[in-house]
Amino acid sequence: MKRYLYKNIAKDLHKKMVFITGPRQVGKTFLAKNIQEEFKRPVYLNNDDIADIKIIHNRTWPLNADLIIFDEIHKMKNWKTYLKGTFDTRIPPQTFLITGSARLDTFRQTGDSLAGRYFLYKLNPLSVKELAGMMEPYEAVAALNKLGGFPEPFLSGSVDEAQRWRRQYYTDIVREDIMDFGRIHEIRLIRLLLEMLRKRVGSPLSIGSLAGDLQVAPNTVRKYVDILECLHVIFLVRPFHRNIARSLLKEPKIYFYDSGYVDGDEGARLENTVAVCLLKHVQYLQDTKGAPLSLHYLRTKDGKEIDFALAENDTITHGIEVKLSEDIPSRALYFFQEKAPSMNAVQLVHNLRHPQRTDAIEVARAGDWLAQLSA
């Protein structure tokens, strides 16, 4: 199975370096090794391997290598300077593929010495669109809700195996990755925050409430949320606040890259699965086409809310409500559709017998609609 970014990356490698980032175990190394097939003399080097570290530092890979894959090189001191010098002095047609997570995705925030030398791709978990050749859309949604979209637990097809994988996965993140960002005494609090967030999927994030529960300062909670976001454990969906109403709330909503980790009912897991699919769609079009797209939600102070909104050039194009079985369009969809008449309003229903469309609202099967996204 070739991942959805395969062709795009293989093509771009002939132009610049390519960076692949994303959550732990989402398939970055698997994808990189698949792409090796496009080259005659590829070399794979992992910065976690002692033998490979020596080759990396001394640049002693074969001179005729046409693709060099650096895995986890962002753990090396001054890795950006190293890559800049390596790329600028390469022997054509030599090219470089760099994979990693966490800090690799945040390096641009500290001044980018690699400007103009790379393309960045964000690899996301499996989605309904990517599974289209393997199963029917309804079945794909049900499986993603139950197992999450990370390849290993999903492909196991077993809830028990998925739970075993998940227990080890989050233990490793807390024990290893968080240590790169926080101090030892903070790990317990971050673990508690993680458990709290599992129960708050799809709700506006109240930093003050979380701070009170944890008995820490609000800025500390913000820091911990940032850490979990940097580690690709969670992602935030922020409210859209232009051209709709001034009374929109400002708090983001929180979702997990792993729908199987959500501590909630089937409806909460369904909303999380839709969020992951929408994020993947937006990021794919951003990375491959430079599209000015963004993912949001809509909510007024008096409680009118749409679960998701897709925007292009700061204009809402789609308002999306997610329901497990309710096929009567929500009043909030009508409200916001009146505020933004050009918005495509759709209610995604997982257990829907008969799709329908009025002049203003489309009621669609969640799986069928998600299968039409770009990735």
pLDDT at residue 70 in the model: 96
The Cβ of residue 98 has, within 10 Å, a number of other Cβ atoms equal to 25
The dihedrals phi and psi of 204, each to the nearest 5 degrees, come to -55, 135
Distance CA 43, CA 232 (A): 27
pLDDT at residue 110 in the model: 46
Q: Are strands 17-21 and 95-99 parallel, antiparallel or unpaired?
A: parallel
Q: Quick check: pTM over 0.85? A: yes
* 3-class SS shares of the chain: helix, strand, coil, % to 5: 45, 20, 35
Distance CA 301, CA 292 (A): 28
pLDDT at residue 246 in the model: 47
Residue 46: enclosing H or E segment and its boundaries? strand 42-46
Q: pLDDT tens per residue, the chain (375 residues)?
A: 799 999 999 999 999 999 999 999 999 999 999 999 999 999 999 999 999 999 999 999 999 999 999 998 888 888 989 999 999 999 888 999 999 876 555 554 445 678 889 999 999 999 999 999 899 999 999 999 999 999 999 999 999 999 999 999 998 887 777 776 666 678 888 999 999 999 999 999 999 999 999 999 999 999 999 989 988 999 999 998 765 554 355 889 999 999 999 999 999 999 999 999 999 999 999 999 999 999 999 988 788 899 999 999 989 999 999 999 999 999 999 999 998 889 999 999 999 999 998 878 999 999 999 999 999
Contact 71, 42 (CB under 8 A): no
The dihedrals phi and psi of 310, each to the nearest 5 degrees, come to -95, 135
The Cβ of residue 27 has, within 10 Å, a number of other Cβ atoms equal to 22
Domains and CATH numbers, the chain: 6-122 (3.40.50.300), 137-370 (no CATH)
Helix (H, G, I), strand (E, B) or coil at 183: coil
Write the single-letter amino acid at 256: F
pLDDT at residue 54 in the model: 96
Structure tokens at 160: 């028990």
Contact 311, 293 (CB under 8 A): yes
For residue range 229-245, what is the model confidence (pLDDT) as tens digits? 988 999 999 998 765 55
pLDDT at residue 92 in the model: 85
119 to 46, 47, 74, 125: CA distances (angstroms): 20, 21, 16, 20
Distance CA 222, CA 285 (A): 29
pLDDT at residue 187 in the model: 84
Structure tokens at 117: 């030398």
Spacing of C-alpha 226 from chain mean position: 14
For the chain, the average pLDDT equals: 91
